[in-house]
Structures are given as C-alpha cells and as structure tokens.
Amino acid sequence: MLELALHILDIVENSVRAGADLVDIRIYEDTEKDKFSIEIADNGRGMDKDTLKKALDPFYTTKKVRDVGLGLPMLFQAARMAGGNFDIDSKEGRGTKVIAGFKRSHIDRQPLGDIASTLIALITGNPEVDFVYTHDKDSKEYILDTRDIRKALEDIPINDVEVLKFIRGNIREGLEEINKRDKLTPNE
C-alpha cells in the first residue's frame, strides 16, 4: 500500500467484519515534535490472547477467502520503516485499538493520501456502521461524526448520493482548514 489512507481502509474493514458498529479513527500531527500517528478503535468482537499474538504474522488470518492477513503486518512495517512504533490492544467482546506512530518528516513515511475517498468508501459500503473521524494537526481539529449526520438526516439514508457529496465536501473543507498555515505578519 502506498498511502496511509489505504491502510486505514483495510484496518477499518477488519473492524466491520469483527462486528463493530462504531469505529473511531484519529489522526494526530504535530509538526513541532515531528510526530504523526493513526489510531483506530472499534467496539467489535475483539481478539483473544492467542489471536492477538498472531495478529502481526502475515501468514495468519481469520478470513476464509485467503490464507494471508496483510493489513496489520503492513501497517506495522510502514510505521517501523518511518522511525515509528506500533501497538495493538484487543479485548474479547470489547473491541480492538490499533496505534501506529511515525516520524512525520521521515523520508519513508507514506503520505496520508485521499482520506476523504477512504471515509466515503467506508460510509457507502457500511451504512449501518457509525464512524468518527478526528484529524488534529498542531491543535487545529476537524471532526466528522456520522451519528450527528444521521440525526440531521432523519429518514434519508447516510449513503444517499447527495449526502455522500456533502460529506466529501465537508471532509475536504475541514482538512483544508486545518492544513492552512498561519499567515505571518510582515515583521516575522
């Protein structure tokens, strides 16, 4: 995978397959401390201790359609290659939390990529699941919470084409806003 957004898509799809109906995705960027992290937490089935021990083995999977499970091992490798760290915590019946940290400026850190398209794909394909996406960059924050959107929609499905267009635009605007650099005054 060439973009972190694709890693996020893969991990969140695992969450949905594990029965999660709420997935929390958080991106933290701190340019001063040179840190970038991804946290994905779900309320799915979770993993028992034996499964958790095998989770980073690319030749282990609980999926029936293929004999390898590359999502977690690939994200683990991406974090390690970019001078970062990786942690996974899971409790049976309570869910799973994955944290991947990166040195933000590291030459091998993959770009975030098209997170708006990733979120739209997740919402479109899983309209019964709620997603909370938080992106914090240098203490500027953008939050998308599908629970709030559902309340405003009333009877309109969240995966309605017009709703998805609105959500995509909202995500792009929000991320553009937190990525704006503070304008320097002439004396700085």
Residue 188: pLDDT band (50, 70, 90) is very low
Assigned domain for 187 exists: no
* Domain encompassing residue 107: 4-179
Flag whether pLDDT at 162 surpasses 50. Answer: yes
Q: Which amino acid is at 36?
A: F
If one compares 180 and 41, the residue with the highest pLDDT of the two is 41
pLDDT digit string (tens) for 44-91?
999 998 888 888 876 656 554 443 346 898 999 999 999 999 999 999
| Residue 32, both tokens | 């001063």
In percent, the amount of the chain with pLDDT more than 90 equals 80
Average pLDDT, the chain: 90
What whole-number distance in Å separates Cα of residue 7 and Cα of residue 154? 32
What whole-number distance in Å separates Cα of residue 41 and Cα of residue 100? 12
What whole-number distance in Å separates Cα of residue 50 and Cα of residue 77? 21
DSSP-assigned letter for residue 133: E
- Supply φ then ψ for residue 92, to 5 degrees: -55, 130
Predicted pLDDT of residue 53:
83
pTM equals 0.89
Assigned domain for 188 exists: no
Domain count, the chain: 1
Assigned domain for 94 exists: yes
The CATH number given to whatever domain includes residue 155 is 3.30.565.10
Assigned domain for 135 exists: yes
Assigned domain for 99 exists: yes
DSSP-assigned letter for residue 110: P
Instruction: Give buried/exposed letters for 144-170 (b at 16+ CB in 10 A, else e).
Output: bebeebeeeeeeeebeeeebbeebeee
pLDDT digit string (tens) for 102-129?
999 999 999 999 999 999 999 999 999 9
Assigned domain for 185 exists: no
In percent, the amount of the chain with pLDDT more than 70 equals 89
- The per-type count for the chain, helices as H runs and strands as E runs, is 6, 6
What whole-number distance in Å separates Cα of residue 163 and Cα of residue 148? 13
What whole-number distance in Å separates Cα of residue 118 and Cα of residue 123? 9
Assigned domain for 186 exists: no
Assigned domain for 133 exists: yes
Q: Which of 144, 118, 113, 133 is nearest to 40 (CA)?
A: 133
